[in-house]
């Protein structure tokens, strides 16, 4: 549950870089995504088509502050997005490093505090740093979105130990793995670890067949969630026979 909203799907899908509006429309439908993320940009002639795709998807819209590098940029973009899309939800990005697109933790917390006080329901894009997570919660965030790896890298869960520690440290906070997911198996792994959702874009948009890939990610996220709830078997140092020795035939 994210800000008291239950979602039918735990896949969050981005809308950038698709080869055509038709492919985007089909990919959203195939994925079954519960949330669609969108950036605030100037609209050209294709703007009406894009808005129609969003409206017919039935998914929850999560505007983002992608491309913002300062608190002022992020806050202003969020305020405009609220007016345009009619939602208090905002995925907050405040980028601090040009190469890795790692968030600036200090600016991120400050922007989160300002937006939360202004009535926004903030989804902060952060790292797996526990202290930053604590500060974001104190700033008013009720969701955290740690990266799996740098945006668009496809490296997957680069710091599994750190992500596992974050899951254990914030047992009651919805956590979404955001960025760096490149394959359905990586998305499934995040869900098996107990994360509440996965957000991705490039892995679907840039696939040879985005529609098929979107369907694969939707199924992987669902399967990972079921597996987590079912209870994964623990890893063992030694082999343990699954077939009992008792009752075997005695050879003489």
Q: Is 161 annotated as a binding residue?
A: no
197 membership: H or E segment, kind and range: strand 197-200
- Is residue 91 among the annotated active site residues? yes
Q: Is 202 annotated as a binding residue?
A: yes
Look up tokens 């919805």; give the residue. 174
Q: Could you tell me which residues come within 8 angstroms of residue 163 by beta carbon, excluding any fewer than 6 positions away? A: 128, 146, 148, 157, 177, 190, 193, 195
Q: Is 247 annotated as a binding residue?
A: no
Task: Write down the catalytic residue from 10, 25, 82, 91.
Answer: 91
Cross-strand pairs, 197: 176
| C-alpha separations of 169 from 52, 73, 134, 172, 174 in Å | 41, 31, 10, 9, 12
Q: How far apart are CA 28 and CA 204, in angstroms?
A: 10
Q: Is 179 annotated as a binding residue?
A: yes
Q: Is 152 annotated as a binding residue?
A: yes
Find the length of the chain: 252
Q: Which residues are annotated as a binding site?
A: 152, 179-180, 201-202
Q: Which residues are annotated as a binding site for 1-deoxy-D-xylulose 5-phosphate?
A: 152, 179-180, 201-202
Catalytic positions, please? Answer: 91
């Amino acid at each position: 549950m994210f800000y008291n909203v239950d979602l039918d799907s735990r896949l969050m899908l981005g809308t950038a870089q698709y080869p055509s509006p038709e492919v985007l429309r089909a990919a959203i439908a195939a994925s079954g995504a519960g949330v669609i993320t969108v950036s605030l940009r100037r609209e050209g002639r294709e703007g009406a088509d894009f808005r129609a795709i969003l409206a017919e998807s039935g998914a929850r819209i999560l505007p983002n502050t992608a491309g913002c590098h300062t608190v002022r940029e992020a806050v202003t973009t969020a305020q405009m997005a609220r007016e345009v899309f009619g939602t208090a939800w905002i995925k907050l990005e405040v980028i601090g490093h040009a190469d890795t697109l790692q968030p600036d933790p200090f600016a991120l917390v400050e922007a989160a505090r300002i937006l939360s006080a202004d009535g926004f329901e903030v989804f902060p894009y952060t790292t797996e740093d526990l202290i930053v997570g604590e500060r974001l919660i104190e700033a008013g965030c009720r969701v955290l979105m740690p990266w799996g790896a740098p945006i668009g890298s496809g490296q997957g869960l680069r710091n599994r130990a750190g992500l596992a520690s974050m899951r254990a440290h914030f047992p009651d906070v919805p956590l979404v793995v955001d960025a760096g997911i490149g394959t359905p198996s990586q998305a499934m792994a995040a869900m098996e670890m107990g994360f509440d959702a996965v957000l991705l874009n490039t892995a679907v948009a840039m696939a040879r067949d985005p529609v098929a890939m979107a369907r694969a990610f939707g199924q992987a996220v669902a399967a990972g969630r079921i597996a987590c709830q079912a209870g994964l078997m623990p890893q063992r140092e030694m082999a343990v026979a699954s077939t009992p020795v008792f009752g075997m035939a005695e050879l003489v």
